[in-house]
């Protein structure tokens, strides 16, 4: 695709991740390194969210603690999709920017924790439902 060709401009290489519901966590694990698995990345996100609930209260519209806690229970199951809340948690935990590059070149990239000083994690988001690594 045109956007995949554009990745070369940023010296990013596309790495396909299996679409098994764990793609977000697999794509992050791919870039964090050998010491992490998709499962360990999932646990880190859940633990961060559980221990920093007040941060999520600030930006989740109509925050409901019961609904949030149930989300964390559901998220602990293998194959449950992660989204922007888990990405936020991982960017904060690892103190690294996480850059979401969309397959639709008309959409702007989204950057979580953009002020972090460590190397960014790049994720390629396709069709509104899948993350690959870059």
Catalytic residues: 20, 23, 130
Whether residue 113 contacts residue 100, with contact meaning beta carbons closer than 8 Å, is answered with no
- Sheet containing 121-126, strands listed edge to edge, beginning at the edge strand earlier in sequence: 110-112, 98-102, 121-126, 130-133
Burial 77-115 (b: 16+ CB within 10 A, else e): eeeeebeebbbbbbbbbbebbbbbbbbeeeeeeeebbee
């Amino acid at each position: 695709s045109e956007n995949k060709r554009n990745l070369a401009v940023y010296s990013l290489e596309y790495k396909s991740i299996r679409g098994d519901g764990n793609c977000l966590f697999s794509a992050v694990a791919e870039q964090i390194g050998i010491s992490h698995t998709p499962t360990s990345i999932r646990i880190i996100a859940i633990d961060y969210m559980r221990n920093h609930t007040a941060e999520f209260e600030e930006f989740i519209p109509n925050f409901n603690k019961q609904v949030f806690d149930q989300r964390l229970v559901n998220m602990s199951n293998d194959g449950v999709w992660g989204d922007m809340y888990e990405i936020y948690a991982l960017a904060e935990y690892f103190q690294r920017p996480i850059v979401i590059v969309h397959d639709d070149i008309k959409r702007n990239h989204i950057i979580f924790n953009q002020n972090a000083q460590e190397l960014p994690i790049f994720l390629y988001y396709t069709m509104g439902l899948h993350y690959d690594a870059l």
